């Protein structure tokens, strides 16, 4: 997880997970629509997952 992805996850979460697949983008986008903080948390969790 690079520092640029973390900064991008804080500013605009769906853009940070663009390389993780379509499902991740949709989930993070929907959570961002519900509130900015849930989208940021979801993006950071997805980016921090070592399996993907």
pLDDT of 30 reads 96
Q: What is the pTM of this model?
A: 0.86
Burial 11-43 (b: 16+ CB within 10 A, else e): ebbbebbeebeeebbebbbebbeeeeeebbebb
Q: C-alpha 52: how far from its chain's center? A: 13
pLDDT of 7 reads: 93
Q: What is the pLDDT along the chain (52 residues), one digit of tens a residue?
A: 689 999 999 999 999 999 888 999 999 999 999 999 999 999 999 999 877 6
CA distances (Å), origin 19, targets 1, 12, 15, 47: 12, 14, 9, 10
């Amino acid at each position: 997880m690079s520092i640029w992805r973390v900064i991008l996850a804080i500013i605009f979460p769906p853009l940070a997970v663009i390389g993780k697949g379509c499902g991740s983008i949709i989930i993070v986008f929907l959570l961002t629509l519900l509130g900015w903080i849930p989208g940021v948390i979801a993006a950071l969790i997805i980016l921090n997952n070592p399996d993907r």
